[in-house]
Structure 1
Amino acid sequence: MDVPGLLESAGLLVPEAVATEDDLTVRDVWDHLIHDEWDTAIDLLQELGEARPLPPTFWEALAGAAEQLRMERSAAWCWWRCAEMRKGVIRADLTLKPAGETRRTLPMPGAGILRPMWNIGHHSPTGGRSVSIAALWVEGRPFLEPGGSATVRLLPLTPAHWQHLAPGRQITMHEDRTVAGTATIVEIHPPVAFVSSPA
């Protein structure tokens, strides 16, 4: 499907009543589509998608359009949000250890590339520490420098391992045996169940 078709598909999944904090609605998106302002339409649709949970098909269509327009970060974000709709949302405040205290000396990429291990309180059958893997997205930044702090989103490889967590719980990030950072859970939402509309 071409970019206009993908964007129209995404736009049709946004209810008319949904508006962003700036009172932008799906009608504003259609105005940009009419004038072939596709990159602006993608940005507006992403904002509308944050105003209310929308089905994975919305994010898939948006990601496809962003990929065709070579908007790599937007495409990555849309695929991330698609996965969150299916697996749930976990947000946390993360502080990385300073460069001299861990093996990391370079900034950590922020767009879901890194998949660190997390100590979320599980133990192995022998009683030792057991870690779980979750991809990491840094909100509002392209990267997070050693010693820096930011709100992050986590996308677990095995969501069932993370069901016991609640806001306020502290977890640790590992890139090797040492603690690379400490995070406090600030928000958790289970996957959203979407009802398919009748054909």
Structure 2
Amino acid sequence: MVHRVDNEGTDVPELLESASLLVPEDTATDNDITVRDIWDYLVHDEWGTALGLLEELGDARPLPLTYWEKLAEAAERLRMERSAAWCRWRCSEIRNGVFRADLTLLAAAEARRTTPIHSGVLRPMWDLGHLLPTGGRSVSIAALWMENTPLLEPGGRATVRLVPLTPAHWTHVQTGRQITMHEDRAVAGIAVILEVRPPATTMPTL
């Protein structure tokens, strides 16, 4: 599918080409798509397809912040809002770190939330075991993105990605840890940490 825009998109090919140069040639998606295949789409001005495949290549190995920034800008110029949001999210993961977790929301009858949550919109509070000087519970904020689904209904379960607002609050959280999600004082969901990726302090070796 060919994605074209007017004057706003005149530099989209350059952004995508520049991003593709940051991908090692031996990197491949699960479907064995490599950066060489993407160049074929760029030659034929199939920018939307090329963008989607570059996003997939970004899951195959760690790539630098600049890579995701270029993809985000290209997506915005192509008016591909979902892709732009995802690429901006990946930028935040590189800056702040990310925790992948298995999240189960409490059912509507057990919690105040009766509507689904959406990826990248909600910034709930998380009980990580910290206490206030007074002995009360101290919570930390982390944005939430669902993998493989745009929304999660009350009572539902999904693999999620959490980007902490203050990474220093999360340094003790390890794989297997159970944490609780809060939108107010009551528990809204329970998450078990599946994977921990700290903030990128240096550019990945290509």
Flag whether TM exceeds 0.5 (same fold): yes
Which is further off, 184-193 or 39-48?
Answer: 184-193
Which residue of 44, 47, 67 maps to 2:53? 44
Is the aligned partner of 1:105 residue 2:114?
A: yes
Equivalent-residue separation in structure 2 for 1:162 and 1:146 (angstroms) = 26
Q: Which aligned pairs between 1:1-20 and structure 2 lie closer than 5 A? A: 2-20=11-29
- Pair 1:62-2:75 in alignment: no
Alignment RMSD: 1.4
1:160 to 162, 168, 173: 168
State the distance in 2 between where 1:49 and 1:138 align.
17
Give me the whole-angstrom Cα distance separating, in 2, the residues matched to 1:121 and 1:16: 44
Other structure's SS at 1:154 match: strand
3-state secondary structure, aligned to 1:13: coil
Q: When the two structures are superposed, what TM-score results if normalisation uses the length of structure 2?
A: 0.92
1:118 is displaced (CA, Å) by 0.4
| TM-score (normalizing by structure 1) | 0.95
Q: 1:174 — aligned with what?
A: 182
User: How many equivalent pairs are there?
Assistant: 196
- List structure 1 segments (4+ residues) > 4 angstroms apart after TM superposition: none
- 1: CA distance, partners of 2:155 / 2:204: 45
Percent of residue pairs bearing the same amino acid type: 69
> Where does the alignment leave 5 or more consecutive residues of structure 2 unmatched?
1-9
Structure 1 gap ranges (5+): none
Structure 2 counterpart of 1:99, one-letter code:
A
Question: How far did residue 100 of structure 1 move?
Answer: 1.5
Q: Deviation per CA, 1:38-81, whole angstroms, max 9, x where unpaired?
A: 11001100010110100010000000001111111111110111
CA 1:129–1:104 in 2, change beyond 3 Å: closer, same or farther? same
How far apart are the structure 1 equivalents of 2:185 and 2:141? Answer: 14
Which stretch shifts more, 185-194 or 122-131?
A: 185-194
SS of alignment partner, residue 121 of structure 1: strand
Choose the corresponding residue for 1:119, options 124, 127, 139.
Answer: 127
Q: Amino acid of the residue matched to residue 173 of structure 1?
A: M
2:202, 2:25 → 1: CA distance? 18
